Structure 1
Amino acid sequence: MIDRFEYSETGNRMRLIRENDEYYFSHSLDRIFYNYAAVKLRKEVMDEYLPVMKAVLISLKSQELLDGLKLGNLTEYVGDYIQAKVLD
């Protein structure tokens, strides 16, 4: 999972600084700290569960192919659900 605090968006950041005044950015250290902590915790938890979710999707697709099961759009639905709810 991507942790936005681990990489730099220098070009985007510089554009935002040029286009906005200082009131555009958060000055609340509490808000910045809690945002940082939430992102770090989310990454830690999701890095544990994302491989499991991927394995479940692979297992579903394998069962569909090997056993001739007709799961319809279940694997696509699960993938889309994970994308929308977890990786937003």
Structure 2
Amino acid sequence: VGIAATSGIPAVLRVWGAWAIVSGLVQLIVAVPRRKMGGQWPMILSGGISVLAGASFVASAGADDPSLASAVGYAIPGGIFFLISALRLGRAAKEA
């Protein structure tokens, strides 16, 4: 992202979008098969949101006046989903 920032906001949105898509797909690949373990629904939701948000970032890079405002709105809920998932998985591990 730092290198892309030297090229402007559209490049940052494309890199951030690609990262969001890839990380979201990884989350889904890991979480969906493990959903019966408990604590995976926040990870599944986060992965799905990441894929959609990433596609949105890539698409918005081509807009007339691209903005990074949507990237902030993506990062905060993603962190919250990770925290919820970690807490639920920790609780499930203690019960097992």
TM range, smaller chain: 0.3 to 0.5
Q: TM-score, normalised by structure 2?
A: 0.35
Larger radius of gyration: 1
Q: TM-score, normalised by structure 1?
A: 0.37
